Amino acid sequence: MSRKTLISIFVVTVILVFNMLLYAEPSDGARKGDAPVFELVKNLDGMKTFEEDLVISAKSKEDTTVVLYHYWFKVDEEKSIIAKKKTNSTGSDSGEWRLVTSEDATIGASGIYAKQVSLKIGKNKIVLKIKDRDGNRKTQIMNMERMDKEALTNYINNIILKDVDKDI
């Protein structure tokens, strides 16, 4: 066998062994390269609500770490020429995403992740950065909007009162 052939066989063997190690199945069924187990009870992405408090909860595996970032889209009250402003996902408002809070947690033997989030009025974004014990990572993003019940009620009342005034 030529030296070139031997080198080729060696290289192929190294790649195969590396792949076997990479995808070797640990005892709990998780595999290096798999997405971490993190099953949200409800994916709240796209939700519109009047409620301030929301609970983000999920089933996961022991030793998984979760970092929750809560952002809020602060709409510009006045146009500024100093700060570089971003538009939100729909591009309808100008303003900037501000970090409200960040919290990290490590999942224990219960397999439960639960965090209460207090939404601010307007657009909110929850970003969950998840990493399991094998180092697998996943990011879950949920956009949600909290509507101002009081403002909406006043707005409707004003319309009704205007109609009443017209009738009078």
Partner 1 sequence: MFQNKGKEASGIVSQYDKSNLLRPDKLIVNMGEKHVLLTENKQNAETYQKVFGDCKALLRALLHSAQTQAGQRIPTENPEPLRSGRNIEMRFNFSISADAFAQLLGADQNPWEEIDYVDGVILSAADSKIYILDDSQNMYFQFDGSQGDLNLEHAISQVEKSNAPAYIFFNDINPELYGADVVVPAEMGTVKLPVLAAEKENAGSDKMKENIAKFFDDDISAMSVIKDPDGTVIYTDREQKSVRIDGAGILEYVRYNVGIPETDAEVKEALQISTDFINKHLGFPYDSYIADIEAVTMGDRTIGYLIKYKYRYEGLPVVFDSANDSSAIEIEIIGDQVKRCKRQLRRLSPKTEIKTIKSPVDILDILLTEDIKIFSGESISHINDMYLAYFEGHDIIPVWVVDVTIEKMERGIKLRENKQYIIGAESGVILDRK
Residues that bind partner 1 (CB under 8 A): 41, 49, 51-55, 57-59, 108-112, 114-116
Tokens of 51: 């409620």
Work out how close the CB of 39 gets to partner 1 at its nearest, in angstroms, rounded to a whole number.
8
Q: How many CB atoms lie within 10 A of CB 71?
A: 20
Cβ nearer to partner 1, comparing 26 with 108? 108
Question: 105, 106, 72: which is closest to 88 by C-alpha?
Answer: 72
Work out how close the CB of 114 gets to partner 1 at its nearest, in angstroms, rounded to a whole number.
5
Contact status, residue 144 vs residue 44, Cβ threshold 8 Å: yes
Cβ nearer to partner 1, comparing 105 with 127? 105
Cβ nearer to partner 1, comparing 87 with 106? 106
Work out how close the CB of 67 gets to partner 1 at its nearest, in angstroms, rounded to a whole number.
16
Coil, strand or helix at 32? coil
Cβ nearer to partner 1, comparing 10 with 50? 50
Q: How many CB atoms lie within 10 A of CB 73?
A: 21
Question: 32, 23, 7, 61: which is closest to 137 by C-alpha?
Answer: 32
Work out how close the CB of 109 gets to partner 1 at its nearest, in angstroms, rounded to a whole number.
4
